[in-house]
Structure 1
Amino acid sequence: MSTINHLCTICYYPTNLYCGRCERVYYCSPEHQLSDWPRHKVECVHAHSEPPNHKQIATPPVYQQPLVSVLALLFSPEEENPRLVTVQCTPQPEPTNGLCPTPLVQTFFPDDQIGSVVLTQGLNNEHLRFPLHLFYSQSSLLCRANVNRAIQRITSEAAAKPWFGPAVVLKFNGSRRQGYSHAGANDLPTLSAYFLTYK
């Protein structure tokens, strides 16, 4: 495989794929090329020669994978109940390296630093076959801003310490934590137990 030394015009993902017409603008996928076409067609002119050591957009790299969508639980401070939301996960460039996809949860934590914790134990300290990945607002917890009413509700307001700010919970697809599966209502008892003992 040749060295990847260009970035996609849309998402800055490393790529050697380029527009087959002008051979000057790079894209990581045909979808990104199509989405950029209204802008790019103004500047796109036929190339006179083919640059060496490049692949055309018609032959995407073997390792490229699409975004993965999973259901996650959102605990919003303004809402009384948790709800299911869709979270996109970007796969790692090389799927064989065993790394977990990266969840794109920034939209739930605008202008904030995001912290996370992995829950591996459930009720009565039993080992979770499918650990839970909890993302939270670091500044909300530190500043004690925006008491989370959805978390108060699932703990019947019996938690030793209230939770502040939003929380998003994803579910791993196994104990090796190499991917995510859908979270759901079945995960609420484990989360309730965690929030009840949070200090």
Structure 2
Amino acid sequence: MQGINQACTLCGNPTSMWCSRCQSAWYCCPEHLQSDWPRHRRECVSVSHNPPTGYNMIATPPPAEPQYITVTAILFAPEADRWTTTQVHCRPTARSAHGACPVPVLQMYFPDGITEGIVLTQGLNGENLRFPLHLWYSPTALQRNTPVNRSIYNITCGSASKAWCGPVVVLKFNGSRRQGYTDASPNDLPALSAYFLAYK
């Protein structure tokens, strides 16, 4: 029987079982296909013809759930003296495959779950930003008598017209079409400072 002594892709042991989807990767047990699936799935191309007799098939694992995307964001924590960076997980949605932006998971910064977003498209002197910035804040922070955000107060030297309260998380879009996020960095601070100063 052909193929009975093929080497398992993962461990090299002889096997007669292969991936049922592509019929070109060999595995000695279903667990090894499952373990190798994160790598193998990138090269696993479905074949439409029936397999030759004499081969055993291992069922291909179901498609994996979309993984969270993690990006670096700028955090203006209300009690901190200066801004910092933080990691934010973004959850892909069904529409993400069609160009919709993933949804940032921000509950740890806004425990009451109430957030609003502002998209900043212009930087200093009204110049268009190549990568727009997405500011998330709590619209109810001022109503709850939340203390003034010290990190924003300090970055604007106390000259901002509006007293920002509560946390502010800033994500950076990966382009003008705003279909995803990329890492924010200190290079984005001048545009943010100008925005905080000008906001009324």
In structure 2, the gaps of 5 or more residues are 1-33, 35-58
| CA 1:155–1:93: 2 relative to 1, 3 Å | same
What is the one-letter code of the residue matched to 2:85? L
Moved more, 100-109 or 135-144: 135-144
2:84 aligned with 1:60: no
- Give the conservation status (yes or no) of the 8 Å contact 1:112–1:139: no
- Separation in structure 1 between the aligned mates of residue 189 and residue 159 of structure 2, nearest angstrom: 15
Structure 1 residues 97 and 76: alpha-carbon distance in aligned structure 2, compared to 1, 3 A threshold: same
- 1:50-71 per-residue CA deviation (whole Å, 9 max, x = no partner) reads xxxxxx882216xx42110000
Structure-2 change in CA distance of 1:187 and 1:167 (3 Å):
same
Q: Which amino acid aligns with 2:62?
A: T
Structure 1 stretches of 4+ moved >6 Å: none
What does residue 165 of structure 2 align with? 164
- SS where residue 72 of structure 1 aligns? strand
Paired position in structure 1 for 2:78: 77
Distance verdict in 2 for CA 1:94–1:146, change over 3 Å: same
| Alpha-carbon distance in 2 for matches of 1:118, 1:190 | 12
Q: Percent same amino acid at aligned positions? A: 51
User: Under a length normalisation based on structure 2, what TM-score does the superposition of the two structures give?
Assistant: 0.67
- Amino acid across the alignment from 1:59: P
Q: Once structures 1 and 2 are overlaid, which stretch shifts more, 121-130 or 142-151? A: 142-151
- Checking the alignment, whether the CA contact within 8 Å between 1:115 and 1:135 is kept in structure 2 is yes
| Amino acid corresponding to residue 71 of structure 1 in structure 2 | T
The equivalent residue for 2:188 is 187
Structure 1 unmatched runs, 5+? 1-29, 31-55
**Who is 2:129 aligned against?**
128
Structure 1, residues 107-161: CA drift from partner, whole Å, max 9, x if none? 1011241111100011001111100000001110344522000001110111112
Equivalence for 1:197:
198
CA-to-aligned-CA distance 1:71-102 (integer Å, 9 cap, x gap): 00110110001100000001122543110000
- Counterpart CA distance in 2 for 1:131 and 1:90 is 19
Tell me which structure has the larger Cα radius of gyration: 2
Q: Which amino acid aligns with 1:188?
A: L
2 CA distance for matches of 1:94 and 1:196?
35
Matched residue type, 1:58: P
Which residue of structure 2 lines up, in the alignment, with residue 103 of structure 1? Answer: 104
In 2: Cα distance, 1:141 partner to 1:88 partner: 27
Cα distance in structure 1, aligned partners of 2:145 and 2:127: 30
Distance 1:188 1:134 in 2: 12
